[in-house]
Amino acid sequence: MKAVGLVVEYNPFHNGHGFHLKKSKIAADAEIVIAVMSGPFLQRGEPSLISKWARAEMALKAGVDLVFELPYSFAAQKAEIFARGAIMTLEALQCDSFCFGSENGQIEPFLRTYLLLEEHRDHYNELIKEHMKKGYSYPKAASLAFSALSAGNDTLDLSKPNNILGIEYVQAALSNHFAIKPLTIGRIKADYHDTQLTATPIASATAIRKSIFENGESAGGIQGYVPESTISIMKEYVLQYKHLHNWELYWPLLKFRIISASAPELRQIYEIEEGIEHRLQDAAGQSQNFHEFMTAIKTKRYTWTRLQRMCAHILVNTTKAEMIPLQKHPSYIRLLGMSRSGREYLRTVKRKLPLPIVSRLSAFHSKAIKPDIRASRVYALGLPEPYQSRLMKREFEAPFVLEI
């Protein structure tokens, strides 16, 4: 059975994701679609709108066959580490190919760009350092460095967010000499950072989330932009747990963590560097909500996304000593959901898998999964009782199975 892998967040699953899913399956000529999906905290440092279990159900109802959780040690990370964990997981799952959405839409420029970067890696890194010394954030410094390096070459526009992620996916596969083959399809209509719903049925997840919260956590305003299954799953989630998740739910917990810790304690947290712990503590004591706090701490050097990831690590209490050793490669594969076809695929490849499949958390014991459990516990704490206990109970149950 030929399998194509997707790296996803589905926060929530929308029509653009459906387009990507269908086109990926065609491009790869695949029978099985395998998704590696971020858990409670996402790549940009945000808590997911609804739980990973609800998002896994969205994926299965849209046509994905297997959904696996990207470990927290790779999920709430910069593009390089995020991509490495995801592609290593898809390679371990015996996927023939992976397919990502990009602004470019053609794989050849990604391959040329990868070769150019490999040939001039040391010079590229030096250029990044020079730009960062001028106060630029890492993404901006990398974009400027690449512009200088690629002048006159037919390569990518690495100022575009999906192209940036895409080159990291390609690099993770090619630099490790993996068998998995990279593919890409072009994103259509909505831009990744668009904040407004469009006149077409394709809108960005950012715009969809904004509309949801502006309409009082109702999914009614996003009809036409998401499948009906997404709307019904979200409505059921609000019925079960009374809230959709965003950073404001966690602000009291985050504020307590920041102001009750000493500066040396905060310095031990992953991604806390260059004395920013003092800026965080000063702003936390004076801010009434998360948005006000973020506005106070943002600088030219620290992007909103990087600061959100810092906040997630403070909240989950992940230290440098704990996180860095876990980032070389995944040591397990956590199953969240499967279709009947997905179960058959797993049955055929199970003996070839280099990593253990975790289907019941209570039956798996490894220090590598502890940050995932902690992240899930913290995510549940955003809800009042008895809903947080209900959500944590789900963490230890069997994966979701969609019989089709």
**Could you tell me the residue ranges of all domains in the chain?**
3-103+186-245+328-402, 247-324
What's the pLDDT score for residue 380?
A: 97
Among 3.30.1360, 3.40.50, 1.20.120, 3.40.1710, what is the CATH number of 3-103+186-245+328-402?
A: 3.40.50
Q: Which has the higher per-residue pLDDT, 210 or 354?
A: 354
Measure the CA–CA gap between 270 and 281, rounded to whole angstroms.
16
Q: What pLDDT is stored for residue 191 in this prediction?
A: 53
State the pLDDT at residue 15: 94
The mean predicted confidence, pLDDT, of the chain is 92
Q: Has residue 199 got a pLDDT over 80?
A: no
- pLDDT category of residue 198 using cuts at 50, 70 and 90: low
Residue 387 has a pLDDT of 96
| Percent of the chain whose predicted confidence (pLDDT) is above 90 | 73
Tell me the C-alpha to C-alpha distance, in Å, between residue 42 and each of 70, 83, 147, 230, 359.
10, 13, 28, 19, 21
- The residue-averaged pLDDT of 281-307 equals 94
* pLDDT for 403 beyond 90: no
Cis ω before 252 (30° cut-off from 0): no
Q: Is the per-residue pLDDT at 8 higher than 80?
A: yes
Which pLDDT does position 195 carry in this prediction? 58
- pLDDT at position 235 is 93
pLDDT digits (tens, 9 = 90+) for 305-340: 999 999 999 999 999 999 999 999 999 999 999 999
DSSP code of residue 329: S
Q: Average pLDDT, stretch 243-264? A: 96
Measured CA to CA, the distance from residue 332 to residue 336 in angstroms comes to 13
pLDDT the model gives residue 193: 53
| pLDDT band at residue 206 under the 50/70/90 scheme | confident
Q: How far apart are CA 136 and CA 140, in angstroms?
A: 6
DSSP string, 177-200: T-SPEEEEEE--SS-TT--S--SS
pLDDT tens-place string over residues 16-64: 999 999 999 999 999 999 999 999 999 999 999 999 999 999 999 999 9
398 versus 21: the higher-pLDDT residue is 21
Which residue numbers belong to the known binding site?
7-20, 101, 162, 187-188
Is it the case that residue 202 has pLDDT exceeding 90? Answer: no
| pLDDT tens-digit series, residues 348-367 | 999 999 999 999 888 898 99
Q: Which residues are annotated as a binding site for ATP?
A: 7-20, 101, 162, 187-188
Q: Which of 398, 394, 347 is nearest to 50 (CA)?
A: 394
- pTM, full prediction: 0.93
